[in-house]
Chain A
Amino acid sequence: MSELKCEEFVELVTDFLDGALDSDTERRFVDHLAGCDGCDRYLDQMRETTRTLGSLPPETLSDEARDSLLSAFRDWKR
């Protein structure tokens, strides 16, 4: 079982975060991570990227659109 190279590591990050690596590959991934500050940083930055994506400010529904939906819902009652 050969050691991972950094260029291989960076391609496995999403599979790793999804828990989708087979156990051998996961072990090699973690071994590499433990010994490589650059890849540790890369993994962190990918996590940070997903966190930032998850904090994008919402686009809001216009008041008019909201009102017209609520009134459609009221009409449906009858």
Chain B
Amino acid sequence: MEPETRPAAALPPDQDLVERLRCRDEAAFALLVDSWSRGMSRLARSFVATNESAAEVVQDTWLAVIKGLDAFEGRSSLKTWVFRILVNTAKRRGVREGRIVPMSSLAPTEEDYGPTVDPSRFLEAGHPWAGHWREFPPLWPSPEQAALSGEVHAEVAAAVAALPDRQRIVITLRDVEGYSSEEVREILDVSAANQRVLLHRARAQVRARLEAYFVAVDAERVGGEAVS
């Protein structure tokens, strides 16, 4: 079982939060800013050109949240509402910067289909075991060992950064920020089925990058031992 470490878990229920914000409770506002801004800048970064722009999008979003709070009707969760404002703000900003990710491009395209694992990893047609692993995927170090390495995080972050926009946005929301497919549908207006297409391809690429990294580390270690 994974421990629940997301700061959002410690937040009071929406109703209390909204009530406190409407009573101009600054501590409640600070709590939200501290809990959500990081995820927000990560998502904003998918729509705009620079980290500075992303920081401004987060800033503008919170200002819009303050202004709009009295009009919040509670039809979605507070966090979903805030993230929707963020996406709209980020998209407007992206347009200005000529880096638009239009909503239509969030739907999977042809290149999001097809094999997500290199077909040469499987036995060729005609072989009695055609379509089965030629060799099993190499073993990874245990999560405990891997977690010790900041390099693993750097690899994963780089793999995510290299993904096409629509895959990066979906994997950021689903896997990095931990949103459900229903919440992502509300935020991005992408169906659960389309999310899965994008998410699957994105995950497979991040996995492949981790595999290459672990294989390289292993080769280095073995090579090092052979030399010494």
Footprint of B on A, CB under 8 Å? 5-8, 10-11, 13-15, 18, 20, 36-39, 41-42, 45-46, 48-62, 65-66, 68-70, 72-74, 76-77
- Is B178 in the interface zone, CB < 8 Å from A? yes
B63 to A, closest residue via Cβ: A72
- Is B211 in the interface zone, CB < 8 Å from A? yes
- How far, in whole Å, are A52 and B152 apart by their CA atoms in the complex? 8
How many chain B residues sit at the interface, stated as a range, is 35 or more
Known: A69-B29, A70-B30. 4 other contacts (CB 8 A): A6-B132, A52-B152, A53-B160, A53-B171
Q: Which 7 A-B pairs have the closest CB atoms?
A: A5-B131, A14-B200, A38-B136, A58-B38, A53-B175, A38-B133, A61-B37
B56 to A, closest residue via Cβ: A65
- How far, in whole Å, are A14 and B63 apart by their CA atoms in the complex? 37
Check A52 against B210 for contact (C-beta < 8 Å): yes
- How far, in whole Å, are A65 and B34 apart by their CA atoms in the complex? 11
Q: Please judge, given known A-B contacts A11-B200, A20-B193, A69-B33, whether A45 and B59 are in contact too, CB under 8 Å.
A: no
- How far, in whole Å, are A69 and B117 apart by their CA atoms in the complex? 45
- How far, in whole Å, are A14 and B199 apart by their CA atoms in the complex? 7
Contacts of B181 in A (CB 8 A): 18
B23 to A, closest residue via Cβ: A77
